[in-house]
Amino acid sequence: VSGIPRIAPEPADAIRCKFDRLKQGSGTHSPSIATIRRDIPELRIEVDACFLSNPYATDLFMERLDRDLIATGRLRDVLEFYPPQNYDAAGYISQVSGIPPDFIFPGNGASEVIQAVIQRFAGPIVALPVPTFSPFYEFAPAATQVRFYRLDEAAGFRLDVADYCRFVRECGATTAILVNPNNPNGYYVARDEVRALLSSLRDLSAVLLDESFIHFAYEDDDSLDMVSSERLVEEFSNLIVVKSMSKDFGIAGVRAGYGIMQPARVQELTASGYLWNLSGLADYFFRTYGEPGFRTQYEEARRRFIRDSDSFFAEARAIEGITVYPTRANFMLVCLADGWRSFDFAMEMLINHGVYTRDCSDKVGLEGPFIRIASRSRTENVRILHALRQTAVTGP
Amino acid sequence: VSGIPRIAPEPADAIRCKFDRLKQGSGTHSPSIATIRRDIPELRIEVDACFLSNPYATDLFMERLDRDLIATGRLRDVLEFYPPQNYDAAGYISQVSGIPPDFIFPGNGASEVIQAVIQRFAGPIVALPVPTFSPFYEFAPAATQVRFYRLDEAAGFRLDVADYCRFVRECGATTAILVNPNNPNGYYVARDEVRALLSSLRDLSAVLLDESFIHFAYEDDDSLDMVSSERLVEEFSNLIVVKSMSKDFGIAGVRAGYGIMQPARVQELTASGYLWNLSGLADYFFRTYGEPGFRTQYEEARRRFIRDSDSFFAEARAIEGITVYPTRANFMLVCLADGWRSFDFAMEMLINHGVYTRDCSDKVGLEGPFIRIASRSRTENVRILHALRQTAVTGP
């Protein structure tokens, strides 16, 4: 590990150029690490700090899968046969969340849930705080108008719930979206405020609450207990909650997520063809997730990761030349010193240090040089911090 | 193996009742074997002849996966990280089909492809030969009218292309569907006739050709070469071809399929959110599928399975008391003797012989006692034939 460029200037330019081309081909998303490795094999990526997940939970799940499916040879059954229909998985999720299964819509990743609900239950006018996860506006049908509520950089990109509710009324929105914690900055809206928002907007046709990163948030510093608002669907009939398993369980390749909403909405989606959208492995994941013993082990992995992440964010805040915004997610939004282009900074981190971060220059609602950096394992975080210090100190 | 009931009458009644309840909960689809095993553990299923796949291809894929992912520990990468976006898989499929990647829409199983195209590109009036795979009418939006073209039992449920085209005109259809080979009876429309149909219907907004079972069809008895019409998308701009990998490669749990259609239609689907619908394993499957060496091995497994299936169908035709319709798929539609209820026959096969078959009493366009039986491995087929003979001989 060193600050000296590992790759000579000319090959570095070539890599920069290849990476830029890959990025253009990925739309408003980052090229996956598999794609980068295939197309830029000369680049050695050592830490993927673009990827948002809990690596300790991946360890846990893989150990379990080795024992259950590999050692026993049962992996074949999972891949060969049709998985059960979705209501089986809804039953397992219900055991964890306490919400009746008919409120639960299992999905092929949270992105399928977002796609399904944004196209059927949102609109005609949707209010959306930005910057945020782009599918909320990209997947909306052409006839749906998306009104951006711009978060203020000076306020650390925090969301003021009362002000947002005013905006919702002013723009005549029929649907309001809240991503909590938000991506890419990690702001967290406390449960009391979520409830206040829902009370204020209970006449809308839908309120979409995306809790994809809620496993990394907490309100009590000692217990680090998870604070989800998913059970509020039983109280607020317009609420739709989106949950991802990719981040908290570190299994993005499995594609597993779910939505929580009124049974009539679940039925409408199911009738339109969402029957076998879970793979055999996603079904296996949800079955495992339903087991109390597994969740006890997961809770340890979750708390350990939160503690490591908090230390990581604190150390990053001490680095001169960058600004780190408040976060209760497993990533931080970083503003670079004046003069930096975020693409250049991300490329320095990648080429000189093997650390892959998210250049946020394509994010609607972010003006200026921003990158998003994920917390990874404790040893990886040490490498990320080293790379950050070395890069920030060189100046643009 | 014996014809004597393995389970005493009273428990058999209880099983029948439990199975009926499971079936009610599965809509117009069969309960999966995993669901049956969980909910009726006292029932020992020895052959799943409801499941439509090539078991030799599953063997081949599992051997390959063991070597590539299990032995190397690379399975973790496949499950942990986001898979590349869909255009990567489109590239691999293009190498096999010879169709440019921008015509290819990779899907989370053929059922996702059917769902996507039936909801966006079909309608307002859709012509559909029945009996057939029910999602073609179940997944259609409420505003779409589906007009059934009833296949004639006396003609062995064969499709007369000229007559079907006349029907399409008479009912004013804007979309025509052709499932080839058809499920549940396995009729096959030769490539020349498919072309004639496409020429006659080239002014429709869409012709949906579902080739999910095409790998089991052939026109030349010696070569057993596969005869797909997928490349005709370059000639007929309204053609949409649906392909499943679940059946031919025996990997239903992986959820992998694709559609072939005009690039503008692929773009419309992608823009609406179909970006990460492939799991890491589906992406791995398509990558492997793109390798010529793997396909050479697959071709052997395909021909071996066709030969075994043809022997199986011929032996079944010789059984008294049942009628087997012509098929070029990997299953046969069986009409039972007068007096049988198809549910009772299927239950006898299941409870007394451990052979799970598909009771077709819920199929639109089938009146009478029909069951569908899949060809499985050579040794399993021996068991199925034994069970069929024993059950048919007892009479209703």
- Provide the percentage of residues in chain A whose pLDDT is more than 70: 98
- Choose among A32, A108, A141: nearest Cβ to B108: A108
**Buried b vs exposed e over B192-211: b needs ≥16 C-beta within 10 Å?**
ebbeebbebbeebebbbbbb
Select, from the ranges B29-33, B43-47, B272-276, the one with the highest average predicted confidence (pLDDT): B43-47
Phi, psi of B281 (to 5 degrees): -75, -35
Give me the tens of pLDDT residue by residue for chain A, a chain 396 residues long: 444 556 677 788 888 999 988 888 777 778 888 788 888 999 989 999 999 999 999 999 999 999 999 999 999 999 999 888 888 899 999 999 999 999 999 999 999 999 999 999 998 999 999 999 999 999 999 899 999 999 999 999 999 999 999 999 999 999 999 999 999 999 999 999 999 999 999 999 999 999 999 999 999 999 999 999 999 999 999 999 999 999 999 999 999 999 999 999 999 999 888 878 999 999 999 999 999 999 999 999 999 999 999 999 999 999 999 999 999 999 999 999 999 999 999 999 999 999 999 999 999 999 899 999 999 999 999 999 999 999 999 877
**Alpha-carbon distances, residue A378 vs A227, A310, A375 (angstroms):** 24, 11, 8
Report the sign of the C-alpha dihedral through residues B128, B130, B136, B138, in that order: positive
**Buried b vs exposed e over B146-178: b needs ≥16 C-beta within 10 Å?**
bbbbebebeeebebbbeebbebbeeeebbbbbb
| A331 neighbors A186 (Cβ within 8 angstroms) | yes
Mean pLDDT of chain B: 93
Q: Count the neighbouring beta carbons within 10 Å of the beta carbon of residue A99.
A: 18
> Strand B175-179 relative to strand B355-356: parallel, antiparallel, unpaired?
unpaired
Tell me if chain A has a CB within 8 Å of the CB of B253: yes
pLDDT at A12: 86
pLDDT at A7: 67
pLDDT digits (tens, 9 = 90+) for A127-153: 999 999 999 999 999 899 999 999 999
Distance CA B171, CA B204 (A): 13
User: Contacts of residue B290 in chain A, CB cutoff 8 Å?
Assistant: none
Of A261, A256, A228, which Cα lies nearest the Cα of A96?
A228
**Which amino acid is present at B186?**
G
Instruction: Provide the 8-state DSSP code for A4.
Output: S
Reported in sequence order, the residue ranges of B82-170 that DSSP labels E, i.e. its strands, are: 104-107, 125-130, 145-150
Strand-pairing partners, residue B323, are B335
Tell me if chain B has a CB within 8 Å of the CB of A285: no
Confidence of residue B5 (pLDDT cuts 50, 70, 90): low
Stretch 142-161 of chain B: residues touching chain A, C-beta under 8 Å: none
pLDDT at A5: 52
Of A103, A126, A110, A105, which Cα lies nearest the Cα of A205?
A126
**Buried b vs exposed e over A25-37: b needs ≥16 C-beta within 10 Å?**
ebeebbbbbbbbe
Tell me if chain A has a CB within 8 Å of the CB of B57: no
Encoding tokens for residue B93? 């499929």
Q: Which residue on chain A is closest to B29 by alpha carbon?
A: A85
Nearest C-alpha of chain A: how many angstroms from B183? 17
User: Contacts of residue A109 in chain B, CB cutoff 8 Å?
Assistant: 276-277
| A246 neighbors A109 (Cβ within 8 angstroms) | yes
Give chain A's largest Cα–Cα span.
Answer: 61
Distance CA B331, CA A282 (A): 28
Stretch 76-105 of chain A: residues touching chain B, C-beta under 8 Å: 76-85, 87-88
Question: A-B interface: how many C-beta pairs under 8 angstroms?
Answer: 181
| A375 neighbors A309 (Cβ within 8 angstroms) | yes
Distance CA A286, CA A256 (A): 8
Phi, psi of B355 (to 5 degrees): -110, 120
Helical spans, DSSP H, in chain A: 9-25, 33-39, 55-65, 75-80, 86-97, 110-120, 135-138, 161-170, 191-200, 263-271, 280-289, 292-317, 342-353, 378-394
Nearest C-alpha of chain A: how many angstroms from B124? 16
Report the sign of the C-alpha dihedral through residues B306, B311, B314, B319, in that order: negative
pLDDT at A127: 98
Q: Which residue on chain A is closest to B116 by alpha carbon?
A: A273
Distance CA A390, CA A108 (A): 40
* B292: CB partners within 8 A, 6+ apart: none
Q: Which residue on chain A is closest to B119 by alpha carbon?
A: A272
User: Contacts of residue B106 in chain A, CB cutoff 8 Å?
Assistant: none
Q: Which residue on chain A is closest to B109 by alpha carbon?
A: A277
Cβ–Cβ gap A88/B35 under 8 Å: yes
**Alpha-carbon distances, residue B251 vs A50, B52, B104, B133, B216 (angstroms):** 32, 10, 20, 19, 15
| B60 neighbors B377 (Cβ within 8 angstroms) | no
Report the sign of the C-alpha dihedral through residues B21, B24, B30, B34, in that order: negative
pLDDT at residue B4 greater than cutoff 70: no
pLDDT at residue B270 greater than cutoff 60: yes
Cβ–Cβ gap B34/A275 under 8 Å: no
Size (chain B), residues: 396
pLDDT at residue B213 greater than cutoff 50: yes
Instruction: Report which secondary-structure segment, H or E, holds B208.
Output: strand B206-210
pLDDT at B273: 84
Tell me if chain A has a CB within 8 Å of the CB of B112: yes
Instruction: Provide the 8-state DSSP code for A161.
Output: H
Cβ–Cβ gap B81/A275 under 8 Å: no
- Choose among B62, B80, B84: nearest Cβ to A76: B62
Which one of A45, A81, A183, A278 would you mutate to disrupt binding with B, by most B Cβ within 10 Å of its Cβ?
A: A81
Q: Could you tell me the pTM of the whole model?
A: 0.93
- Choose among B25, B83, B250: nearest Cβ to A80: B250
Instruction: Report which secondary-structure segment, H or E, holds A356.
Output: strand A355-356
- Choose among A252, A280, A283: nearest Cβ to B80: A252
Distance CA A130, CA A147 (A): 10
The mean pLDDT value for B347-371 works out to 94
**Buried b vs exposed e over A369-384: b needs ≥16 C-beta within 10 Å?**
bbbbbbbbbbebbebb
pLDDT digits (tens, 9 = 90+) for B110-125: 999 999 999 999 989 9
pLDDT digits (tens, 9 = 90+) for B282-310: 999 999 999 999 999 999 999 999 999 99
Phi, psi of A128 (to 5 degrees): -145, 120
Tell me if chain B has a CB within 8 Å of the CB of A74: no
| B138 neighbors B98 (Cβ within 8 angstroms) | no
Which of A263-277, B89-103, B165-179 has the lowest average pLDDT? A263-277
pLDDT at A6: 62
The torsion region of residue A84 among left (phi > 0), alpha (psi -120 to 50) and beta comes to beta
Among all chains, which residue has been given the structure tokens 């001490």? A318
Q: Count the neighbouring beta carbons within 10 Å of the beta carbon of residue B26.
A: 17
Among all chains, which residue has been given the structure tokens 């997947």? A139
- Choose among B29, B253, B273: nearest Cβ to A279: B253
pLDDT at residue B256 greater than cutoff 50: yes
Distance CA A257, CA A121 (A): 18
pLDDT at residue B167 greater than cutoff 70: yes
Strand-pairing partners, residue A332, are A373
* Assembly ipTM: 0.93
